[in-house]
Amino acid sequence: MFEEKLDALSQLMAEHMAMLFPPGFRGLEKIVDHDMVMLDADAYGYASGALKGPLDQQRRAGLLRLTAVFEKVLPAIGDEYATKYYMHVRDMAVLAAEIETLREE
């Protein structure tokens, strides 16, 4: 099951790289006090780290905080494509968090 989750995360990350960043979101003022470019970059960075090996405690805590941010941000996005894009980003972060939880067990 662990290897399957790693494969799924790798696939999500590849799909993410093939997606276009939402038009109009680069340089956009923050949504619910969160910079959307940084949200995207942070999620990808944590997912990449989770693929390579266990995250240290600080990065694991950052990943958990990041997954909570999506619950605030997603409902505030008023663009259909951007919502789809950031749901995909959220899915990457959530799966990375699941992988880290499995590592702890």
pLDDT value for 27: 74
Collapsing DSSP states into helix, strand and coil, what is residue 53?
Answer: coil
pLDDT value for 80: 95
pLDDT value for 83: 96
Flag whether the pTM goes above 0.85: yes
**Using CA atoms, how far apart are residues 79 and 43, in angstroms rounded to an integer?**
20
pLDDT value for 85: 97
Phi, psi of 31, deg, nearest 5: -110, 125
pLDDT value for 64: 94
Contacts for 57 with CB less than 8 Å, ≥ 6 apart? none
pLDDT tens track of the chain, all 105 residues? 899 999 999 999 999 999 999 988 887 767 888 999 999 999 999 999 999 999 999 999 999 999 999 999 999 999 999 999 999 999 999 999 999 999 987
